[in-house]
Each structure stands twice: as C-alpha cells, then as structure tokens.
C-alpha cells in the first residue's frame, strides 16, 4: 500500500457531494457509524465539519494500487473519528470508513 501526505480529492467537492442526494456510504461505514449511534443525517453533519487540518494521509486501496483513498481524523462530540473516502464512478465519491479512531 502506497501513501502520500497530500490529499488526492478536493475536500470542498466531497463535502458538497455529502449534502447531495447522491451521498453513498459503504455498508461497513454505515454499520460502524450506527454502532456509535450515528445515523445518516449525523454522518453528513460530521462530514461537513471536515477541514484540511484534519487530513492525515492518502493511501492506495489493497485491491487496486491505482485507487487513492483520503483519510481524515475529525474531532467530534463522540471522540475523534476516522473518515476515509475515494472517488466513485457512479456517485462521484464513496464514504468507505466512518468509525472511532484507534489510538495505535
């Protein structure tokens, strides 16, 4: 897995997409968010809180080394959250991870 310290995707575009009817999250992101008591409306609200300073890294997908995924750690009222997303052909973006950040 490759890694870089510059975002691959435009954060403003990602936040705008999250407010649109095209918002889509992977099943695992929905499940981990639900386990934290976060529904889709709150997921969108938290995504709107993302700022450039929350960016951690861009990593390539395990399945496709040409597919980049941006990782953000965003503070929230329920703790620091790990949010990862990538571009998607069908919906512009896909929210891949929405979970509590581990402190490892």
What CATH number did the domain enclosing 41 receive? 3.30.2310.40
Helices (H) and strands (E) in the chain, counts: 3, 5
Total domains present in the chain: 1
pTM reported for the whole predicted model: 0.91
8 A C-beta contact, residue 95 and residue 83: yes
What pLDDT was estimated at residue 1?
77
Domain that holds residue 52: 3-100
Query: By the 8 A CB rule, do 50 and 14 touch?
Result: yes
Q: What is the pLDDT along the chain (104 residues), one digit of tens a residue?
A: 799 999 999 999 999 999 999 999 999 999 999 999 999 999 999 999 999 999 999 999 999 999 999 999 999 999 999 999 999 977 899 999 999 998 54
In whole angstroms, give the CA distance from residue 73 to residue 53.
9
Closest CA to 83 of 100, 69, 71: 71
């Amino acid at each position: 897995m490759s890694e870089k310290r510059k975002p691959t995707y435009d954060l403003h575009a990602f936040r705008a997409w999250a407010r649109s009817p095209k918002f889509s999250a992977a099943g695992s992101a929905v499940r981990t968010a639900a386990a934290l008591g976060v529904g889709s409306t709150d997921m969108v609200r938290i995504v709107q809180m993302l700022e450039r300073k929350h960016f951690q890294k861009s990593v390539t997908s395990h399945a496709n080394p040409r597919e980049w995924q941006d990782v953000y750690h965003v503070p929230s009222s329920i703790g620091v959250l790990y949010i990862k997303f990538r571009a998607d052909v069908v919906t512009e973006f896909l929210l891949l991870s929405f979970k509590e950040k581990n402190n490892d």
